[in-house]
Structure 1
Amino acid sequence: MTAPQLAMKDLRRVVIAAAVGNVIEWYDFYIFGSLAALLSVKFFAAGASGSALIKTVGTFTAGFLIRPFGAFVFGRVGDIVGRKYTFLITLSGMGLSTALIGLVPSYAKIGVTAGILLLLLRLIEGLCLGGEYGGAITYVAEHAPDDKRGY
């Protein structure tokens, strides 16, 4: 293969990896929002379903609100140790926190601790999503040929 063909193959691999990672992270986020009504009675007091749903939506919102902080933190990490490593950290963090949400016992088993654990794990998801999104865009842009960059 010639150098341009190799560079294009490398770029294609980077774009696909960034896109797949981004889709997975946003899908993880989407699942929580889609299942808010079900999750509310599992992680918060079932007697007050309206209150439980509001707490669940608040937990969902907290994950969104912390994303800029994740972009700030992981953007700096990416500048120091590299975007690829940071991309792997954010993908792993998102996957691990999502898996741990699936392992959190219900409100009936551990009480208010279930909601607290859910909130903490959603905050980790939000941090990782904020860091991954901006990092993926920068990572792809750095691998694009000079004449194909958008800036």
Structure 2
Amino acid sequence: MLVALREIRTFEDEILRKKSKAVAKVDDKIRQLLEDMAETMYHTPNGGGLAACQVGILRRLVVADMGEGLLKLVNPEITEQEGEQTVIEGCLSYPGVWGKLIRPYRVVVRALNEKGEQITIEAVGDLAKCLCHEIDHLEGIIFTDKVIEYVKAE
């Protein structure tokens, strides 16, 4: 499978504010896009997650890797959340911008995997933060909408 690095949309690109559409069928085209997204994320400094809208495609697709292995999610949705954590976040679409915000400490996410099989992921801490951030992207919500204080990069 050939992999193509995709251009990450940044700052005021209007696609970042649009709601993504559900994927009707997980096929080779979707699998290729997920692979391209993963490679793009890995080739970008500080990349821990990426939503399809960030590469200009309004489909409900997310890739994430917070050090525990790559997740490729189709039509992800948060079905449970609990607790809260104060986190520092940045975004590949907003390079150089960092902010403090409140995210759930634990989430349960239901999605399809790249084979089209239903999966459930229970995430805490950094992975919960990442999944919330990427799923927000699918709704056209940017982390800066939730920032309570901007901070300098660490």
Report the structure number with the largest CA radius of gyration. Answer: 1
Q: What TM-score do the two structures reach when normalised by structure 1?
A: 0.25
Hey, which of these two has a bigger chunk of strand by percent? 2
The TM-score with structure 2 as length reference comes to 0.25
